[in-house]
Structure formats: structure tokens, C-alpha cells
Amino acid sequence: DTAVSQTPKYLVTQMGNDKSIKCEQNLGHDTMYWYKQDSKKFLKIMFSYNNKELIINETVPNRFSPKSPDKAHLNLHINSLELGDSAVYFCASSRGLGKETQYFGPGTRLLVL
Amino acid sequence: DQQVKQNSPSLSVQEGRISILNCDYTNSMFDYFLWYKKYPAEGPTFLISISSIKDKNEDGRFTVFLNKSAKHLSLHIVPSQPGDSAVYFCAASAQAGGGADGLTFGKGTHLIIQP
């Protein structure tokens, strides 16, 4: 009965590869997000989707592309992985925008070698 | 440019005493503030929030205080329990623009509750 789930939990890959991280929420929320927690432990917003429409796209490289097949899923596809992409990626969801609490998944630990 | 700052990387408190975690922000457009708790290898878990129209919100052992003029908020946990040992993140969002900018997080404070 996990509210926000992510797969895989750990991902180790070589530089230059393409990988995807999946996220699903069963809360019936309209908005989903991707955050990146870097080595300095800062959690920073990357993308948000509201009703399958991209709302924001922070200054992340275009190698990162969010894909939402439906309201309950927001996957993150990363092309040509680089060493600096190593981080923990968290998915989150909320009922809507504005003053809405966001609920986070357990995180995906990505290590690029 | 850190818009949300948690200046104490760690805090050690004796079990049963009060834990006070502090957070400062610089963006005057922020109007909704949240505290999250995070255990190792898990995602952040929502604890408590406060809107800028209030100066206090209480939920059981947790109370958040907001001082808008000082751009400061704090989380009080009383009494502190061993299970409270975790990293606590302060986060903020701005209603303007529909809140589409997501949450802006502080760097976190590692709270250690000593028996």
C-alpha cells in the first residue's frame, strides 16, 4: 500500500549509458515531481507535472526527460549519463499546486562509473 | 544562493527534553512552509506545515512557529524521543505562480536524541 514508489532503488551504470527511473503514486494526486539530492545533500526540484503537462523545467540538462504515461506515473529518462549525474533522485506527488503537501518516494540511488 | 537555510548541521538533545530546530529564509514570496523528517535510505516524510497567515501550528508533540518579520521558523519537539533521531528538512513554497516552482529545501539538520 505504498503511496509513492520508485524503481529501481539502486542503479549502478557506466558513463554514456541511457537509463530510466520509474515512479508511481496511488494517492490520486494531480501533480508529480522529480527532485535531485546531490553530494552536498541539497534537495532540488528538477521537474513537475500537473495533469500530464510539464509545469516547470528547472535548468537541468536536456539529457534528462520526464515522461508521464498517465496521471499516476512520472518516469525520468536520462541519456548519455555522466559522472556528475550520480545522486539520489526522489519522486514526489501532491494533490495540486500551491499550498499542497508533497509526499515523497523512497529515492533511487544512481551511481555512474 | 540558498533561499532556505538551516545553519545547524546537527543537534544533540537528551531524551525527554525539548528539541528546537531552526530555519531561515530569504525569499519574501514564500508563503507556505513545511518540515520533513528523513531516515537514512528513505524518502522525506511530511511532519507539519504552516501557512504564512498563521504564526503557530501544533500537532501532537510537534509545533512549528513562524516569524514572518524575521523570516524565521522553528520546529519544537517535546518531549523528544529516540525515534525522533533523523535529519529534519525545512522547506518552503510560493503561492504566486501557482506554487509551480516546487519546494525549496534547506540543507537539513541531523537531530540526535541521546538516552
Confidence (pLDDT) at A42: 84
Instruction: Name beta bridge partners: A24.
Output: A5, A73
B30 touches chain A (CB under 8 A): no
**Which band of pLDDT confidence, cut at 50, 70 and 90, is reported for residue B2?**
confident
pLDDT score of A51? 74
A102 has a chain B CB within 8 A of its CB: yes
Average pLDDT over chain A, rounded to an integer:
90
**Phi and psi at residue B84, to the nearest 5°:** -80, -10
pLDDT in tens, B61-102: 999 999 999 999 999 999 999 999 999 999 998 875 555 668
Q: Using one digit for the tens of pLDDT, what is the confidence trace for A46-69? A: 988 887 778 777 788 889 999 998
Residue A36: count other Cβ atoms within 10 Å of its Cβ. Answer: 19
**Phi, psi of B90, deg, nearest 5:** -90, 140
SS3 A83: helix
Q: Which amino acid is at A49?
A: Y
The number of distinct structural domains making up chain A is 1
Give yes or no for residue A21 having a pLDDT over 80: yes
- The domain spans of chain B are 4-97+104-114
Residue type, A65: S
pLDDT of residue B79: 97
Which pLDDT does position B100 carry in this prediction?
Answer: 61
Cell numbers 501532491 label which residue? A94
Residue A65: domain span: 4-112
Q: Which of A48, A55, A106 faces B42 most closely, judged by CB atoms? A: A106
Measure B86 CA to nearest chain A CA, in Å. 14
Read off the pLDDT of residues A74-83 as tens digits, 9 standing for 90 and up: 999 999 999 9
Q: Which CATH number do you get for residue A10?
A: 2.60.40.10
Interface test with B, best of A101, A103, A108 (most B CBs within 10 A): A101
SS3 content of chain B, % helix, strand, coil (to 5): 5, 50, 45
DSSP characters over B14-58: ETTS-EEEEEEE--TT--EEEEEEE-TTS--EEEEEEETT-SEEE
Top CATH class of B4-97+104-114 equals mainly beta
Burial B63-90 (b: 16+ CB within 10 A, else e): bbbbeeeebebbbbbeebeeebbbbbbb
Provide the pLDDT confidence category of residue B106 given band limits of 50, 70 and 90. Answer: very high
Q: A53-57 and B45-51 as β-strands: parallel, antiparallel, unpaired?
A: unpaired
pLDDT tens per residue, range B32-54: 999 999 999 899 999 999 999 99
| A77 has a chain B CB within 8 A of its CB | no
pLDDT averaged over every residue in chain B? 93
Residues of A in contact with B44 (CB under 8 A): 43, 90, 104
A48 and chain B in contact, CB less than 8 A: yes
Judge contact between A77 and A18, C-beta under 8 A.
Answer: yes
Give pLDDT, residue B99.
56
What does B8-25 look like in DSSP terms, one character per residue? -SEEEEETTS-EEEEEEE
Answer with the residue of higher pLDDT: A53 or A95. Answer: A95
